[in-house]
Structure 1
Amino acid sequence: MSSFNHASVPEQNSSYVQPNLLGLVSKLSLYARKRMVRSLLDLARPTPDTTVLDVGVTLDRREDCNFFEKAYPYPDRITAVGLEDASFLEQEFPGLKFVQANALDLPFADQSFDLVVSFAVIEHVGSRAQQRAFVQELCRVGKQVYIATPNRWYPVEFHTILPLIHWLPARWFRRILRLLGHDFWAKEANLNLLTLSEFKQLFPPDLTLYYRPTRLLGWVSNLSLFAVRR
Structure 2
Amino acid sequence: MHGRLRKAQKIAELLALRPSDGRPVRVLEVGTGSGAIAQYFSELLNERGVVNAVDVLDQRVVSTGYQFDLVKSTALPFPDGMFDAVISNHVIEHVGATQDQRHHLHELKRVLRNDGRGYLAVPSRWQLIEPHYHLAFLSWLPHRMRSPYLRWRGRGFYYDCEPLGMYSLESCLQACGLVYENQFAQAVKAMIDAEHQPPIAAKLAALLPMPVLQMFRVTSPTHVYLFAKNRAALANV
Fold-level match, TM-score > 0.5?
A: yes
CA RMSD of aligned residues (A): 2.8
Aligned length, in residue pairs: 190
Q: Does 1:192 align with 2:165?
A: no
One of 10, 24, 28 as aligned partner of 1:53: 28
Contact 2:36 2:62 in 1 (8 A): no
Aligned pair in 2 of structure 1 residues 55, 115: CA closer, same or farther (>3 Å)? same
Q: What is the SS of the residue equivalent to 2:179?
A: strand
Which amino acid in the other structure matches residue 45 of structure 1?
A: L
Aligned pair in 2 of structure 1 residues 126, 142: CA closer, same or farther (>3 Å)? same
User: In the alignment, which residue of structure 2 is the partner of 1:164?
Assistant: 137
Contact 1:81 1:103 in 2 (8 A): no
Q: Deviations over 1:117-138 (max 9, x none)?
A: 0111111111111111111111
User: In the alignment, which residue of structure 1 is the partner of 2:105?
Assistant: 135
For the residues of structure 2 that align with 1:132 and 1:55, how far apart are their CA atoms? 14
Q: What is the SS of the residue equivalent to 1:74?
A: helix
Q: Deviations over 1:193-214 (max 9, x none)?
A: 1111111122245322011125
List aligned pairs for 1:50-199, cutoff 5 A: 50-58=25-33, 65-72=34-41, 73-74=44-45, 77-86=50-59, 89-90=62-63, 93-94=64-65, 96-143=66-113, 144-184=117-157, 186-187=158-159, 190-199=160-169
For the residues of structure 1 that align with 2:32 and 2:152, how far apart are their CA atoms? 31
Contact 1:103 1:137 in 2 (8 A): no
- 1:160 Cα deviation after fit: 0.7
Aligned pair in 2 of structure 1 residues 55, 46: CA closer, same or farther (>3 Å)? farther
Q: Does 1:209 align with 2:184?
A: no
Structure 1 gap ranges (5+): 1-25, 59-64
Aligned pair in 2 of structure 1 residues 40, 155: CA closer, same or farther (>3 Å)? farther
User: In the alignment, which residue of structure 2 is the partner of 1:20?
Assistant: none
Aligned pair in 2 of structure 1 residues 40, 196: CA closer, same or farther (>3 Å)? farther
Which amino acid in the other structure matches residue 52 of structure 1?
A: V
Contact 2:105 2:176 in 1 (8 A): no
Q: What is the SS of the residue equivalent to 2:78?
A: coil
Which amino acid in the other structure matches residue 226 of structure 2?
A: F
Aligned pair in 2 of structure 1 residues 149, 165: CA closer, same or farther (>3 Å)? same
- 1:166 Cα deviation after fit: 2.3
Identity of aligned residues (%): 25
Which amino acid in the other structure matches residue 194 of structure 1?
A: L
Which amino acid in the other structure matches residue 220 of structure 1?
A: S
- 1:37 Cα deviation after fit: 4.2
Contact 1:57 1:80 in 2 (8 A): yes
Q: What is the SS of the residue equivalent to 2:148?
A: helix
List aligned pairs for 1:2-21, cutoff 5 A: none
For the residues of structure 2 that align with 1:87 and 1:169, how far apart are their CA atoms? 34
TM-score by length of 1: 0.71
